[in-house]
């Protein structure tokens, strides 16, 4: 049962996150952008990458590789409400290239039951088209061992368990992921190995926390960090280091998960106006 006290705590917790984001932007000299505005710019970035010849988006601007799953699958979902014609063409482009399923990212939308429990994934080339490579990720392998060491998989597990009504298990996965937050990002097994943080995990955290019942508040600095990692193009940068320096380029998958997380959090809080 959600009490008035809980609702008040959620409101002030959400407001604190937005204030923290505003403070960081002002302190760094960057213009302040509301979460909903940032999401709108992210959608414009995705639409700008659309290749009408393939009906797909490249991995990033100028790339010759086009990922069916998870990039274009996520892009079709994200663009469906604001740009349904492009979303429909992306979906058609996916189906034209290969009949593979949605993979573990489908768990966000209540799809891909075969992706849970997690399995080892494989990256494969689907076909070549005019010097461009269409690739995808499939998960036909063995059950994935040690997945609890990765924040993104814990957050996906949180989402799927909540969807199945396993609230205690979902909350357990959420808490395990949040314990990996070190104030800068999720310092999980991959972050330790690579020496940098993954931006998309911030979006997943906002999404997973909003899906819980009752919703869980992410760390106050998380939203600010995610907003700061948006590129001038409107897309979100792949990675960043402990000093907050952006590493990589704005890409489709990261941008999609950032948008999904921001808008899910925004809708839960009701603090900012939906774009």
Domain ranges of the chain: 4-269
CB-based contact 96:86 (threshold 8 Å): no
Q: What is the pLDDT of residue 184?
A: 97
- Spell out where 130-257 has E strands: 132-138, 197-198, 236-240, 246-251
**Helix 252-269 with 35-48: angle, nearest 10 deg:** 150
Task: Share the mean pLDDT of the chain.
Answer: 88
* Residues of the chain with confidence (pLDDT) below 70: 1-32, 99-100, 113, 270-275
One-character DSSP codes across 252-271: HHHHHHHHHHHHHHHHHH--
List the strands of the sheet with 246-251, edge to edge. Answer: 197-198, 236-240, 246-251
Which pTM value belongs to this model? 0.87
């Amino acid at each position: 049962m959600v009490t008035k006290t809980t609702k008040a705590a959620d409101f002030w917790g959400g407001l604190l996150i937005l204030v923290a984001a505003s403070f960081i932007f002002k302190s760094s000299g960057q213009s302040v952008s509301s979460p909903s505005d940032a999401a709108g710019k992210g959608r414009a970035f995705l639409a700008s990458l659309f290749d009408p010849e393939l009906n797909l988006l490249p991995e990033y601007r100028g790339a010759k590789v086009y990922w069916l799953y998870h990039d274009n699958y996520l892009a079709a979902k994200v663009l469906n409400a604001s740009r349904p014609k492009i979303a429909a063409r992306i979906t058609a482009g996916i189906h034209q290239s290969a009949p593979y399923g949605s993979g573990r990212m489908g768990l966000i939308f209540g799809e891909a039951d075969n992706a849970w429990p997690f399995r080892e994934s494989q990256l494969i080339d689907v076909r070549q088209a005019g010097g461009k490579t269409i690739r995808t990720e499939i998960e036909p392998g063995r059950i994935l061992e040690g997945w609890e060491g990765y924040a993104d998989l814990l957050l996906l597990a949180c989402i799927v368990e909540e969807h199945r009504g396993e609230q205690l298990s979902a909350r357990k996965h959420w808490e395990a992921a949040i314990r990996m937050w070190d104030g800068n990002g999720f310092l999980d097994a991959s972050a330790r190995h690579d020496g940098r943080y993954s931006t998309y995990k911030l979006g997943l955290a906002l999404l997973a926390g909003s899906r819980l019942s009752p919703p869980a508040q992410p760390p106050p600095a998380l939203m600010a960090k995610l907003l700061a990692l948006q590129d001038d193009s409107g897309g979100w940068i792949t990675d960043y280091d402990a000093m907050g320096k952006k590493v990589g380029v704005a890409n489709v998958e990261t941008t999609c998960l950032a948008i999904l997380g921001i808008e899910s959090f925004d809708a839960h809080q009701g603090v900012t106006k939906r774009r």
